[in-house]
Amino acid sequence: MRRLTLLPLYLAALSLLLGGCVQESVRSVNSTEAIQAVEAIPEAQLLDVGVAVFDAGIPEDEESWEKLRIFPTVRKAEARFIPLILQDTLEKTGQWGAVWVLPADSNAVDLHLSGKILYSDGETLKLDVQAVDSTGREWLDKTYEGVASKYAYVEELELDSDPFQNIYNQIANDLVLARQSLDAKQLTDIRTISELRFATEFSPEAFDRHLKVNERTGEYTINSLPAREEPMMVRMSKIREREYMFFDTLDEYYDNFERQMGEPYMDWRAYSYDETIALREVKDSARRRMLLGALAVVGGLYVGSQGGSYTESVIANTAVIGGGTLAWSGFKRYGESKIHVDALRELGTSLEAEVRPVVVDIEGQTVELSGSVEAQYAEWRRLLRDIYELETGIEVASDSAAPGDGTEVN
């Protein structure tokens, strides 16, 4: 009778593992509302915000892309799309001046936001976000993570917010709290320093003396103020206004990009959400099936090896055959998970195909904004320097930005 003493334990183990197959994981998502302005903010304290295109967070090691659920074509598009949602969120709060999405940092704005996509699969979004004002003071350096509700992609509900709107609201609220920690003079100084840093970029000889930089912290303070009516200051104001006009032109491009990308990106995230859930369920199911199969085979072989009655022999043979079937089923399910990954890759490729270049008009010139808006912005900055040199006869030191990179100007 000792030969059957392990059989109840073996069957109990099978029962426990089978019970695990029907467990379901439930995740909840909390709601965060963005803090709205309750009264008008004085003009002198109203900060303009530049949200830089995010770092796509694509590792150089291509072998890690599948493990991290990264599809480069999608991720690069997300790096432009996510700042647009953040821009919309900030604008709707009424807490800020102009808010622009920019291909690169500009001294024309008062507060600079930048970020990196750490993870994105439709179900989970994880971002690393920084905010620094024109004085060099850090407002924000924080990681945000959100999980989409299972209702976020249900078409019948017609939800009008992004599945990860909580993240954008949290960022907006953190920025408001950081601003509230500053007094009126500090906010006014931020705007003044933005103006002086922009002017110094074009004419350091004329404006550098007005600023002082802390060698230890790298933060800027005002050393003196130029007279508003000075000819150089008047010219700088005009050039700064041209910069803002170009930002508005970029806004048209990004608005068009958002319209083009909105539907296919939402569809991709909905599919990706479903595929992510399915992939996890398939892998969990496959893992359980292979464990069950292995246990059944081992248990069956053990019972069979002890000899014994006809009943025991039937149990042993059934366990071996059934265990082998479970294990094979598990391997087949891992094959199904590979199909899900391939489906996501195809979705990423189709998304890239739907995001087209945009042609805009800049001061009478037709400009095609294709793969690199950064190159367009670099070209625009060179044009600003040319304008300044023509007006003043003072040569401006060129930066390292290079033209071209898929951009055509006619």
Residues 381 and 233 in one domain: no
Give the confidence band of 228 by pLDDT, cuts at 50, 70, 90. Answer: confident
321 within domain boundaries: no
What pLDDT score was predicted for residue 38? 93
212 within domain boundaries: yes
248 within domain boundaries: yes
Report whether pLDDT(272) > 90: no
Residues 363 and 240 in one domain: no
Residues 195 and 58 in one domain: yes
Q: For residues 400 and 114, what is the distance between their CA atoms, to the nearest angstrom?
A: 21
More confident residue, 318 or 201: 201
Report whether pLDDT(35) > 90: yes
Q: Please list, in sequence order, all residues whose beta carbon lies within 8 angstroms of the beta carbon of residue 181, skipping any fewer than 6 positions away.
A: none
Quick one: DSSP state of residue 5?
T
Domain with 101 in it: 43-275
Give the confidence band of 289 by pLDDT, cuts at 50, 70, 90. Answer: low
Give the confidence band of 36 by pLDDT, cuts at 50, 70, 90. Answer: very high
Percent share of the chain, pLDDT over 90: 36
Give the confidence band of 156 by pLDDT, cuts at 50, 70, 90. Answer: low
List the single range of 48-62, 136-150, 329-343 with lowest mean pLDDT: 329-343
Contact 272, 306 (CB under 8 A): no
Domain boundary among 253, 275, 297: 275
Residues 220 and 76 in one domain: yes
Q: What is the mean pLDDT of residues 265-279?
A: 76
Domain boundary among 243, 275, 307: 275
Report whether pLDDT(190) > 80: yes
95 within domain boundaries: yes
Report whether pLDDT(8) > 90: no
196 within domain boundaries: yes
Q: How would you label 316-336 residue by residue, b for 16+ Cβ within 10 Å and e otherwise?
A: beebbebbeebbeebeebeee
317 within domain boundaries: no
Q: What is the mean pLDDT of residues 326-355?
A: 47
Residues 130 and 221 in one domain: yes
Residues 367 and 222 in one domain: no
Report whether pLDDT(211) > 50: yes
What pLDDT score was predicted for residue 24? 39
More confident residue, 364 or 161: 161
Residues 63 and 187 in one domain: yes
Q: What is the DSSP annotation of 65-109?
A: HHHTT--HHHHHHHHHHHHHHHHHHHHHHT-SS-EEEESS--TTS
Report whether pLDDT(55) > 80: yes
pTM equals 0.72
Residues 130 and 266 in one domain: yes
| Domains of the chain: total | 2
Q: For residues 148 and 273, what is the distance between their CA atoms, to the nearest angstrom?
A: 9
377 within domain boundaries: yes
382 within domain boundaries: yes
Domain boundary among 241, 275, 309: 275
